[in-house]
Amino acid sequence: PSSAPVPTDQRAREVLKAVWGYDAFRGVQADIVRTVAEGGNALVLMPTGGGKSLCYQVPSLLRPGVGIVVSPLIALMKDQVDALRQVGVRAAFLNSTLSPEGVREVEDALLAGDLDLLYVAPERLLLPRTLDLLDRAPVALFAIDEAHCVSQWGHDFRPEYGQLHVLPERFPHLPRVALTATADDRTRADILRVLGLQGAPRFISSFDRPNIQYRVAQKEGPKSQLLDFIRSEHAGDAGIVYCLSRKSVEETAKWLQAQGVDALPYHAGLSPRERNLAQDRFLNEEGLVVVATVAFGMGIDKPNVRFVAHLDLPKSMEGYYQETGRAGRDGLPGTAWMVYGLADVVNVKRMLAQSLAPEEVKRVEAAKLDALLTYCEASTCRRQVLLGYFGERLPEPCGNCDVCLNPPRVRDATREAQMALSAAIRTGNRFGAAHLTDVLLGRDTEKVRAMGHHLLPTFGVGQGHDEKTWRGLLRQLVSLGYLAAGDHHGLSATGKARPLLKGEETLKLREETLVLKPSRRDRER
Ligand code: ADP
Ligand code: ZN
């Protein structure tokens, strides 16, 4: 006790080596560990796979007492604790899966100071009984994992997380470290407020995942596009395919199986046993494709997932980043592949408009969706758009996304956009893309006749382009907010459309959607 204290950094490196066998901290880990081990608070924003766990595990070992880890991932606690015990860390968890005797045992160990780390589900932590226990136990720090769950603006709000303000209120002298892989400005502000971290240092790692190739394509025949993609680039690889509904999960999985792809469905409608089985198989088998709703994947740590495919739009950029981030965690190449079409855009916009959520929430969600659609329609490097959304600037185009690898040609589409917008307006702003396309192409359908739309000046003005072109153009106009999707898929021109219609503004779009019909091209020559 008379010798000089060993500096924190050195002790941290010794623990890292002795317990985990690692030689060095990665990136900002060392700074975070020092800050927290010395009793400071911290906000840690680090992408999935970046190494967040060590940021609270090492300080918990360096400080006297037990590190309390709040985590919503009950299903993973046992695995995390087992892994720690294997390296000799005294770890335990408290959640609803324990028997009363099991709870008592852990509580006794906690009070006796026989634990280094204790994982607690938030609802368990908030029980008066647990909080009283923590008053009496030696506590080293609080780590709040998946901290974005405190925010209603996040994609993963948990009401119990909103109650975690008890931590700064009741234990103001204990260090708190909040960790998340996903947080826009608003979510970040909520984390700081709820957890009382306003003045705390923030440690933000780059969100770039250079080994992931980002690609977005127009949806034509989603199942066969997916099969082509898997067969030509990822045969025999492990992958995740995300769909919006349970029904499409089931259908897609069945269809892939019939085509000889080793595929498995996963959604919240399955029993817990079936879900666990699917997770276990995915983790332990090679080359399994899981077709899933977003219910699948939180906390899944399989390093060699080679692709993540989206057959439906994610809800936000955060969701997209987190879901695609499950590819290539071993650092080897992975593909983030997505197809989307007009119907998807119309659907999600309509679902949002019809949702019963408070107006303010709806506005935020609409803004998040718009950011995602802008990403989908990007004609500049996708990685730059993606990272830009998270407040990070990538100075050069990445060279590893579809836009960089195969630059789309952009061309003036003002005239076509005017045609499409006036078709919507002249038919009363209430018809869907199929009917508007019929009007533009001058198709004499029963509906066109019945509505008298064959008499409109817009009837047939779009014959210079084919059906696919008009659908693609309408999709871009909806994505970019010139057309709004209402009930029954009806499209109406928005205020944003006016300057375009008046010719005060021009619109440039990806040429892919403006392919001229051969006949017309011949005529123009
Ligand atoms: P996150 O929670 O941020 O998704 P983890 O904490 O699970 O990430 O870490 C991801 C992987 O990286 C784990 O396998 C972990 O052991 C490894 N890892 C983290 N930090 C280091 C390090 N300094 N040296 C070597 N491996 C590390
Ligand atoms: Zn790029």
Pick the ligand that lies closest to the CA of residue 208: 2
Spatial distance between the Cα atoms of 453 and 436, rounded to a whole number of angstroms: 10
pLDDT value for 2 = 52
Nearest CA to ligand 1 atom 19: 51
Q: Which residue's C-alpha comes closest to atom 24 of ligand 1?
A: 22
Q: Nearest 10 degrees: CA dihedral of 339, 343, 345, 349?
A: -150
Instruction: Tell me what the pLDDT averaged over the chain comes to.
Output: 90
pLDDT computed for residue 299 by the predictor: 60
User: Tens digit of pLDDT for each residue in 202-253?
Assistant: 998 888 999 999 999 989 899 999 999 999 999 999 999 999 999 999 999 9
Tens of pLDDT along 418-471? 999 999 999 999 999 999 999 999 999 999 999 999 999 999 999 999 998 898
Percentage of the chain lying above the pLDDT 90 cut:
68
Q: Region 497-513: what's the mean pLDDT?
A: 86
| Mean pLDDT of the region 94-117 | 95
Rounded to the nearest whole angstrom, what is the distance from the C-alpha of residue 400 to the centroid of ligand 2? 5
Q: What angle do CA 56, 76, 117 make, to 5 degrees?
A: 35
**For residue 518, pLDDT beyond 60:** no
Q: Ligand 1 pocket: which residues have CB below 6 Å?
A: 22, 25-26, 29, 46, 48-54, 301
Which residues have a Cβ under 8 Å from the Cβ of 180 and sit 6 or more positions away?
44, 45, 146, 147, 148, 187, 191
Distances (CA, A) of 43 to 8, 38, 135, 292, 480: 19, 15, 24, 31, 35
Query: Within a 10 A sphere around the Cβ of 113, how many other Cβ atoms?
Result: 13
For the CA of 47, the nearest atom of ligand 1: 3
| List of long-range contacts for 281-285, beta carbons under 8 Å, 24+ apart | 282/238, 285/238
Sheet holding 202-204, edge to edge: 91-94, 117-120, 66-70, 139-144, 176-180, 42-45, 202-204
Q: Which two tokens stand for residue 167?
A: 């931590």
151 or 55: which leads in pLDDT: 55
pLDDT confidence tier of residue 515, bands split at 50, 70 and 90: very low
**Contact 56/69 with Cβ under 8 angstroms?**
yes
Residue nearest to atom 18 of ligand 1 (CA): 51
- Of 250, 222, 71, the closest CA to residue 158 belongs to 71
Complex ipTM above 0.90? yes
Q: Which of 17, 26, 56 to mutate to test the pocket of ligand 1 (most atoms within 8 A of CB)?
A: 26
| Cα 419 from Cα 421, distance rounded (Å) | 6
Q: Which atom of ligand 1 is nearest to the CA of 145?
A: 2
Structure tokens at 85: 């015990």
Phi, psi (rounded to 5 degrees) for 234: -135, 35
Looking at the CA of 402, name the nearest ligand: 2
Q: Which residue has the tokens 């020559």?
A: 525
> pLDDT digit string (tens) for 320-338?
998 999 999 888 999 999 9
Closest listed ligand to the CA of 16: 1
Q: Note the helical H segments in 391-525.
A: 402-405, 414-426, 433-441, 446-451, 467-479, 497-501, 518-524
Q: What is the pLDDT of residue 355?
A: 85
Closest CA to 66 of 7, 129, 117, 6: 117
Cα of 55 from ligand 1 centre, angstroms: 10
The residue nearest atom 17 of ligand 1, judged by CA position, is 51
When mean pLDDT is compared across 38-42, 215-219, 250-254, 408-412, the lowest value belongs to 408-412
One DSSP character per residue, 52-117 reads: -HHHHHHHHHHSSSEEEEE-S-HHHHHHHHHHHHHTT--EEEESTTS-HHHHHHHHHHHHHT--SE
Tokens of 61: 């070992």
pLDDT reported for residue 476 = 86
pLDDT over threshold 90, residue 54: yes
367 pLDDT more than 70? yes
Label residue 512 by pLDDT band (50, 70, 90).
Answer: low
Helix axes 359-376, 317-324, angle to 10 degrees: 50
